[in-house]
Amino acid sequence: MRNWTSRSSRRRLLCAASALWALTGGVALAQAVPFKIEAQPAAEGIRQFARQAGVQILVQSNAAQGKRTATVRGVLSLDQALDRLLAGSDLTVISNDGKTIILAPPREGLIRTRWATAAAPLETAADPAPPKPEAPSLIEEVIVTGTRSTSRTVTESMAPIDVISAAELTKSGKQSTRDLISTLVPSANTSNSGAGASFAIKTVSLRGLSADQTLVLVNGKRRHNTAILFVNGTTQNGQSPPDLDLIPSSSVERIEVLRDGASAQYGSDALAGVINVILKKSPEGGSMTALYGKTAEGDGETGQVSGNIGMRLGESGYLNLTADVRLTDPTDRGDKTLNTTVMYFPLNAVGQPVKVGTAGSTPDPREATANRHTSHPGSPQVQLFSLGYSAGSPLNDKIDLYSFGTFSSRNTAAWLTFRNPNASNNNVAVYPNGYTPRLFLKDRDFQVAAGAKGLDFLGFDWDLSTTFSRDDVDYYENSLNASLGPSSPSYFYLGALKFQEWTSNLDLTREVDTPVFSRPLFLALGAEYRDDKFEIVAGEPASYINGGYVAPAGSPQAGVVFAGGSQGVTGFPPFSAGSFSRDNISVYANVEQKVTDQLEFALAGRFEHYSDFGDAKTFKLSSRYEILPHLAIRGTASTGFRAPSLQQQHYASSSTIGVIVPPATTTQLYPVQLLPPDNPAAIALGAKPLRPEKSVNYSVGVVAQPLPRMNVTLDVYQIKIDNRILQSGTLGPNAAVSNALASQGLNPQQAAFYYGNFADTKTRGVDLVVDYKTDLGDFGAVRWTFSANHTKNKFTRVVQPPAALAAAGIVYIDRVKIGDLTVGTPKEKYILGADWTLGKFDTNLRLTRYGEVIQRTSLAANDETVSPKLIVDLDLSYAATKAVTVSVGANNLLDAYPDSVRAANRGTPAFAYYNQYAPYGISGGFYYARVAARF
């Protein structure tokens, strides 16, 4: 064992600090914590205490030999728990600063001897050690993501992991965990746009991949996906990822982001990585937070109130409750330059109303006063109410019971695209001046988990759990079914989407002594059963039928073939309704071995069987080697898979979106039918049953501490994905698509798309994270962080349609889809943060630079560019009392906007003004005030 003054030993002194300490930021040792420690040899008892208490313990190695620690059970302050632990052990506390505890026998506290941390084996040492060490300058959190072990820290992990603490949640005006992740994690980006129902969900993606290629866990248990399929968006089409907005942010203790493929450890979806949201478990204390803010434009007014409280359950249990309410008004960033050349009320040369589609029109006098502010792109109106809880209690000396869950109700509303008065999707008898549809979503979501865990089941620690979750989304719309004539309703129930998931897990872990290595082998085994169900509920008939209305002779719309179904989003028809389900069972094994003090490795394997497509096998090999006390290299190689979602397999809908209809070269509103892959019309267009995506991931990284209080990680990665499931480009309108739709009784005057395994891709990138703390003496301290990501996506294979379909003009993956994946998100992202604390003041400044984004169109000459942009976030806090902190701040302080869209690409009528491909959104600066109280 190295002398503790060596750099390597000083680094290892940090390894037993836990997330609870980081969460409380220095709460005194009177803070109560649930303990469960059996009487045992002192070395192991001290290690367990350090992990459960969230502190670091230094102890003389020889002093612990031959001694035993006592039983500690129940919710106790750390002082009380320490007294019970050390009773009769002949060990005493010689130093306790609330972060690091130093133990020694009585009268030996000043003896020079070797020291060990509670995160490493306590070994005998013969030579003396220097005097008492100074308190560590950095407290690291024990991570639980990417490993089944419970004593590994971020810098000791074999794969790159980011840890976002609750303190960071409170130092920002971000109202959701999703936005905070995309702000702080270099390879994370948020998609901020979508048409139709997609406006309600903002997705976060890792390493340039899709949002549904990142697995989300809550307390290590799989989080369910949203029922909504992300259709008509920009770069994140065709996905139903978990909705992080529905986890109340005040319930979060920390977030662990594993930036590495982990299908072998956790199953489907973990191609890009894993986001593990850890909920609070404190049995006492609490907080209240109130936030108010609005944008620089004066809209987007937001009020948020949240509360968290911890309570004891009986003598040794805990119950932690959270409630969160957020009300947000919409933002409107449309029609900055009004197009007066588009006529809403055309007249012919003799002053008569012009029928739709005819030429030779002259201005109507109403054109001069027409309201042309008809486009309202921006963020939606949101009413969000969410609850969260976490509870646990010992059943007996060997078994603990636990449960956690979230419950959310969200109402969302957004404007769609304006319909001109004389257009075929309007009826002038109902809306003489045209109309803009407004879509409403009512989302009801919950997840409840319950389980038991204990010790010594055939030598294993065990965890048996079940998680039931459901997401129901009802669709409503203020709109019009022009084909029903003047009797058309203006409010429709469009139907509902429902997704349900029931997952049960058994996890076993133990350490096994082997004759080969001096350190025990860590072994984890487990099994999972999951049952998924997806349901589409049909809307009211008026929302999808074609009433066949014919306008009377002499009217401006006489002879027009009116569009059927509600405009904007058409109701779900009976042919698309139904209930679809599948189940899967999986088993896994995971071993981790410390070969020497410098070298360790881990190997994981998983087998899964799905009822709808068969088997999947995945593997992962990880290793870490400490070259020097301050320098280590790490690497992983893994295979992964993502099962096609039930939504991708069975969802069908119709909507009206912007499409280029030949011979026109500009975007116009046109109905589009999304077909499930097993629909005969889709099969006629080349569709085949969906297969799982398969990946091969490689990652190599360096972990270094070039200076005291500085940590640097640099990771290079490559992710190859075969059979990637993508939404096709817009197929048609042309004769082949019309014939396919008509053969199934669908409106032939539509374009279409569907989902398929359309391509193979390769993603390469690099992540850099630097953390450094500067002590400024009387001027406080600054924690500096710098992170950067460079990611490049490339198509290595694109599926081509059969010759007959290609000759008919069918292209599955066009230049628009290729551009969305290759240049539709920034290749570079840089984040520089400075958190300066001075007395009662805390200033948090963050600069984020996004690289260039290109929005490809069907015509290369019309491609759009979103220029690189610097976004500045600032939060200023003042501790008015020990319990109350007041803050003011800004997200996007300088009110930066993306480039505007050229007039040719805004659509007719205009769909947007600012480019919605911008990863920071189009709403500009948001300015807020916040009050937080702790009790």
Q: Which helix (H) or strand (E) holds 184?
A: helix 177-184
Dump pLDDT digits (tens) for 571-590: 999 989 999 999 999 999 99
Q: Which long-range contacts (CB under 8 A, 24 or more apart) does 303-310 make?
A: 303/327, 304/175, 306/248, 306/249, 306/250, 307/250, 308/250, 308/251, 308/280, 309/285, 310/280, 310/281, 310/282, 310/283, 310/284, 310/285, 310/286
Q: Is the pLDDT of residue 390 over 80?
A: yes
Window from 552-561, 719-728, 875-884 with minimum mean pLDDT: 552-561
Confidence of residue 849 (pLDDT cuts 50, 70, 90): very high
Of 102-106, 134-138, 780-784, which has the strongest mean pLDDT?
A: 780-784
Window from 8-22, 98-112, 679-693, 912-926 with minimum mean pLDDT: 8-22
Dump pLDDT digits (tens) for 712-722: 999 999 999 99
Q: Which helix (H) or strand (E) holds 496?
A: strand 491-512
Longest dimension (CA), the chain: 110
- Tell which phi-psi region holds residue 211, choosing left (phi > 0), alpha (psi between -120 and 50) or beta: alpha
Dump pLDDT digits (tens) for 477-530: 999 999 999 999 999 999 999 999 999 999 999 988 888 888 889 999 999 999
* Under 8 Å between Cβ of 136 and 155: no
Residues in CB range of 784: below 8 A, 6 or more apart: 770, 771, 772, 773, 774, 832, 833, 834
Query: Which neighbouring-strand residues pair with 275?
Result: 216, 257
Strand 521-538 and strand 40-41: the pairing is unpaired
Q: Which two tokens stand for residue 59?
A: 């102890």
pLDDT of res. 640: 96
Cα 528 from Cα 353, distance rounded (Å): 67
CA 500 to chain centre: 19
Strand 693-704 and strand 755-775: the pairing is unpaired
Average pLDDT over every residue of 220-231: 91
pLDDT of res. 149: 58
Quick one: CA dihedral 98, 102, 108, 109, positive or negative?
negative
Omega within 30 of 0 (cis) for the link into 733: yes
Q: Is the pLDDT of residue 115 over 70?
A: no
Confidence of residue 95 (pLDDT cuts 50, 70, 90): confident
Window from 72-86, 359-373, 717-731 with minimum mean pLDDT: 359-373
pLDDT of res. 413: 94
Q: Which helix (H) or strand (E) holds 115?
A: strand 115-117
pLDDT of res. 462: 94
Confidence of residue 704 (pLDDT cuts 50, 70, 90): very high
Dump pLDDT digits (tens) for 419-472: 888 778 888 888 888 899 999 999 999 999 999 999 888 889 999 999 999 999
Q: Which two tokens stand for residue 485?
A: 């004539």
pLDDT of res. 138: 33
* Under 8 Å between Cβ of 102 and 164: no
Q: Which two tokens stand for residue 112?
A: 């020079």
Average pLDDT over every residue of 82-94: 83
Residues in CB range of 647: below 8 A, 6 or more apart: 225, 227, 228, 229, 240, 497, 499, 534
Cα 37 from Cα 52, distance rounded (Å): 9
Strand 710-727 and strand 653-660: the pairing is unpaired
pLDDT of res. 755: 94
Strand 273-279 and strand 214-218: the pairing is parallel
Q: Judge residue 131's burial from the number of C-beta atoms within 10 Å of its C-beta, 0-12 exposed, 13-18 middle, 19 or more buried.
A: exposed
Of 21-35, 67-81, 420-434, 603-617, which has the strongest mean pLDDT?
A: 603-617
Q: What DSSP designation does 862 have? A: G
Residue predicted with more confidence, 825 or 30: 825
Residues in CB range of 760: below 8 A, 6 or more apart: 720, 721, 722, 723, 724, 795, 796, 797
pLDDT of res. 4: 31
Residue predicted with more confidence, 156 or 350: 156
- Tell which phi-psi region holds residue 83, choosing left (phi > 0), alpha (psi between -120 and 50) or beta: alpha
Q: Which two tokens stand for residue 805?
A: 């379909």
* Under 8 Å between Cβ of 316 and 34: yes
Residue predicted with more confidence, 773 or 913: 773
pLDDT of res. 143: 60
Q: Is the pLDDT of residue 781 over 80?
A: yes
Dump pLDDT digits (tens) for 329-355: 999 988 765 555 566 666 544 445 555
Q: Is the pLDDT of residue 123 over 50?
A: no
* Under 8 Å between Cβ of 849 and 790: no
Q: What DSSP designation does 150 have? A: S
Of 82-86, 553-557, 640-644, which has the strongest mean pLDDT?
A: 640-644
